[in-house]
């Protein structure tokens, strides 16, 4: 029995080949150093786990949750947006829970896109944007994120005939996989461009708290004009090492939130109340958690970039998120470099072509390994012989 066309037409999953090779090496007993997955090695803070246990045992939290998140959760989220970004929101109409930003982003496309529409998608980017656009029947127009433009889309390069049909633009800062952040001026230009063309701006702020310089912590919702066109997705996954919990939220324009929640009401039944309450607790101690986390990632990125440099591999100093993007040696493709690192050195990375064509020439290291593993990388890379 064949799956539906929308599934058959999904682009080939290049991570599958990496997985197959990785499993073959594992079976041969090769010790692998895994910098592939963007899944934190650090645990969820104890106080958040304790709150979950406490709340999970209460019968009032064991029922169906509300579709758009509990009042307490939405109020906490709005308090966070005000304290952290100076963004004032109405917790009833401008905030909703999501089962992780991945779910939220995918369903947002479904709620707002249809055949005939175009969505502007950064290249490289998190594959969910483009795939959810295709599921909705709309077309993808890729906006290359180039080194020469600090990995921010060049809006002047979008042809007029595309711009008039564009309904949605996705943006993601701090950025996966480049580690770039957007400046206030760049964000303002994007918001102005979207407003002038009636385009919905979907900001994926999954890494909003993961910046190496506090001045780079920004929300598109703090940009003048954003109230008309922006929805922003935030996640607990990376800020609090809660990837398995599936908790995030969306905030922004009430009509956009309303349309999104209407779709979701017909698909899922919200997030377990005990998880939402643990999320509320996490937000109370956000500042301490984020500072501690970023001091860990800062040490890791500094060590990793110097280890790579010794091996003759150039990398970009990230401003945010927890990845280090490295340049492939001249004449070596991202896929070939990834395979070489895996098969010659036992080092797992991600080719940035997995995130789009413009990722060619780059690979991504996730900073989700402790310093001693990064130190061990030094010996492994000797076998590469690119220097």
What is the signed CA dihedral for 10, 364, 27, 311, rounded to 10 degrees? Answer: 150
Alpha carbons 157 and 163: distance in angstroms, whole number: 10
User: Smallest distance from the beta carbon of 138 to ligand PLP, in angstroms?
Assistant: 19
- What is Dmax (Cα atoms) for the chain? 62
- Distance, in Å, from the CA atom of 359 to the CA atom of 56, rounded to the nearest integer, reads 43
| Residues between 36 and 65 that touch ligand PLP (CB under 6 A) | 38
Minimum separation from the CB atom of position 46 to ligand PLP (A):
21
What CA dihedral angle connects 21, 24, 29 and 32, to 10 degrees?
20
Taking CB atoms, the residue at the shortest distance from ligand PLP is 100
The answer to whether residues 329 and 386 touch, using CB atoms and an 8 Å cutoff, is yes
**In a 3-state reduction of DSSP, which class is residue 273?**
helix
Contact map string, positions 188 to 227, toward ligand PLP, x by CB under 6 A: ----------------x-x---------------------
CB of 109 to ligand PLP, least distance (A): 13
Q: Is 243 in the site for ligand PLP (CB under 6 A)?
A: yes
Binding positions for ligand PLP, 97-136, rule CB under 6 A: 100-102, 126
**Nearer CB in complex with ligand PLP: 206/377:** 206
Q: How far is the CB of 38 from ligand PLP (least distance, A)?
A: 4
Among 44, 109, 178, 235, binds ligand PLP (CB under 6 A): 235
Tell which one of 186, 226, 237, 319 touches ligand PLP (CB under 6 A): 237
Q: How far is the CB of 99 from ligand PLP (least distance, A)?
A: 8
- Cβ neighbour number for residue 190 with a 10 Å cutoff: 25
Closer CB to ligand PLP, 244 or 312, in the complex: 244
The Cα-based distances of 30 to 7, 65, 206, 345 in angstroms read: 35, 46, 34, 10
DSSP 357: G
Q: Site residues for ligand PLP, window 289-348 (CB under 6 A)?
A: none
Q: Select the residue interacting with ligand PLP from 176, 239, 353, 368 (CB under 6 A).
A: 176
The closest alpha carbon to 25, from 338, 359, 353, 366, belongs to 338
Report the C-alpha gap between 108 and 295 in whole angstroms: 34
CB-wise, 38 or 69, nearer to ligand PLP? 38
Interface ranges with ligand PLP (CB under 6 A): 38, 100-102, 126, 172, 176, 204, 206, 235, 237, 243, 248
């Amino acid at each position: 029995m064949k799956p539906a066309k929308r599934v058959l037409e999904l682009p080939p999953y290049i991570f599958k080949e990496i997985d197959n090779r990785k499993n073959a090496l594992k079976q041969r007993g090769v010790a692998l150093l895994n910098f592939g997955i963007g899944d934190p090695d650090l645990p969820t803070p104890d106080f958040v786990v304790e709150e979950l246990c406490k709340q999970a045992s209460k019968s009032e939290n064991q029922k169906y949750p509300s579709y758009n998140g509990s009042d307490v959760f939405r109020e906490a989220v709005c308090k966070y947006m005000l304290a952290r970004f100076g963004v004032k929101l109405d917790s009833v109409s401008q905030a909703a829970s999501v089962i992780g930003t991945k779910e939220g982003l995918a369903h947002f496309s479904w709620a707002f896109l249809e055949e005939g529409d175009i969505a502007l998608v950064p290249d490289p980017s998190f594959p969910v944007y483009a795939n959810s656009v295709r599921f909705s029947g709309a077309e993808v127009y890729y906006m290359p994120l180039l080194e020469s433009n600090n990995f921010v889309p060049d809006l002047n390069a979008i042809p007029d005939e595309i711009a008039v049909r564009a309904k949605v633009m996705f943006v993601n800062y701090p950025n996966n996989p480049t580690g770039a952040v957007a400046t206030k001026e760049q964000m303002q230009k994007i918001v102005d461009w979207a407003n002038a063309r009636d385009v919905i701006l979907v900001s994926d702020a999954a890494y909003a708290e993961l910046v190496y310089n506090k001045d780079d912590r920004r929300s598109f919702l703090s940009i003048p004009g954003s109230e008309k066109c922006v929805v922003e997705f935030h996640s607990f996954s990376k800020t609090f090492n809660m990837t398995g919990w599936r908790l995030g939220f969306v905030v922004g324009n009430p009509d956009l939130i309303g349309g999104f929640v209407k779709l979701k009401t017909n698909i899922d039944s919200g997030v377990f109340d005990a998880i939402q309450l643990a999320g509320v607790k996490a937000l109370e101690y956000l500042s301490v958690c984020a500072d501690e986390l970023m001091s860990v990632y800062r040490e890791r990125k500094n060590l990793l970039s110097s280890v790579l440099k010794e091996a003759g591999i150039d990398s970009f100093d990230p401003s945010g998120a927890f990845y280090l993007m490295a340049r492939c040696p001249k004449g070596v493709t991202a896929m070939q470099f990834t395979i070489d690192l895996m098969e010659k050195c036992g080092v797992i990375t991600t080719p940035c072509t997995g995130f789009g064509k413009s990722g060619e020439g780059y690979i991504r290291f996730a900073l989700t390994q402790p310093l001693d593993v990064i130190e061990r990388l030094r010996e492994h890379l000797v076998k590469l012989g690119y220097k």
